[in-house]
Amino acid sequence: MATPPFKAGERTNLAQADVLLADSSPEGLEVLIQMFAGFGVHMPHCAVTAEEAMTKMGERELHLIVADVSLPDQDGYDLVRWLRRSGPAINRTTAVILLSGHTRSSDVAKARDCGANFVIRKPVVPLVMLQRVVWVSRESRDFIEAAGYCGPDRRVRALGPPMGTKGRRKDDLSLDVGAATTPNLDQDDIDAMFQPKRATQ
C-alpha cells in the first residue's frame, strides 16, 4: 500500500493524496468529490464504471480507492477481488472503502471477504468517511495472500474504536486497560474451572 501523506499523531492532511472515487451516479460522484475536497483532496481521479476504475488503477499509484458496490458493468465486490488478485501491482494492497445502500451483516461479510478494508452505508456522512479514511491510513493489519482470500487480514482484534473516536456500541472496549482490581487466580482455581462436573437436576 502506498505510504499515506500523513502520519499518526499529525493533523490529517489529504492534500497530497491520490484518491480514486468510483460511482456510476453523477449525483453520488459529485457528493464524494465535494466531500473529499473538504478533506483537502481537490483533484481526485474519478470513474463511473468498473472498467474505467481498472484503467485508472493501472495508471498511477493510489493512496485510497472509494467505490460504490453498484457499478453498472461489474459490482464493487468483484472489482476489489480483481484488484487484490489480478490488478496492477502498484495498487494491489491499496486501501479500499466500499459504499453500499445496504449494510446487512451478509453485505458487510461480502465486502470483508472480497478484500475491502471497510464498507460504509450510503448516504455517507462526512465525519464517518473521514474517520474511516484516517483509520485505514493508520491500521497495521498484514496483507494476506492465500488460495481462498487476498486482502487485509480479516482477524481484527476487538479493541474497540480507534483512539480518540467515540464508539457506537455500548460494549465497545476501551484501549486503556488500567490496573487490575482483583487478585489473580491461583493455579488451583484455574484448574477447577476445567474439571468436569456432574450435572444436577
Predicted local distance difference test score (pLDDT) of residue 77: 96
Predicted local distance difference test score (pLDDT) of residue 184: 77
Q: Is residue 47 part of a domain?
A: yes
CB 73 within 8 A of CB 51: yes
Q: Is residue 106 part of a domain?
A: yes
Predicted local distance difference test score (pLDDT) of residue 198: 65
Predicted local distance difference test score (pLDDT) of residue 110: 93
Secondary structure string (H, E, C) spanning 111-165: HHHHCCCEEEECCCCHHHHHHHHHHHHHCCCCEEECCCCEEECCCCCCCCCCCCC
CB 43 within 8 A of CB 63: no
Q: Is residue 121 part of a domain?
A: yes
Q: Is residue 182 part of a domain?
A: no
Q: Is residue 169 part of a domain?
A: no
Which residue range is the domain that position 83 belongs to? 19-152
Q: How many CB atoms lie within 10 A of CB 57?
A: 24
Predicted local distance difference test score (pLDDT) of residue 25: 95
Q: Is residue 148 part of a domain?
A: yes
* Domain count across the chain: 1
> What nine digits make up the cell of 183?
487478585
Per-residue pLDDT 10s for the chain (201 aa) are 454 444 444 456 788 999 999 999 999 999 999 999 999 999 999 999 999 999 999 999 999 999 999 999 999 999 999 999 999 999 999 999 999 988 888 888 999 999 999 999 999 999 999 999 998 888 778 899 998 899 999 876 555 555 666 666 666 556 566 677 777 777 777 777 776 666 555
Q: Which CATH number fits the domain that encloses residue 50?
A: 3.40.50.2300
Q: Is residue 14 part of a domain?
A: no
Q: Is residue 108 part of a domain?
A: yes
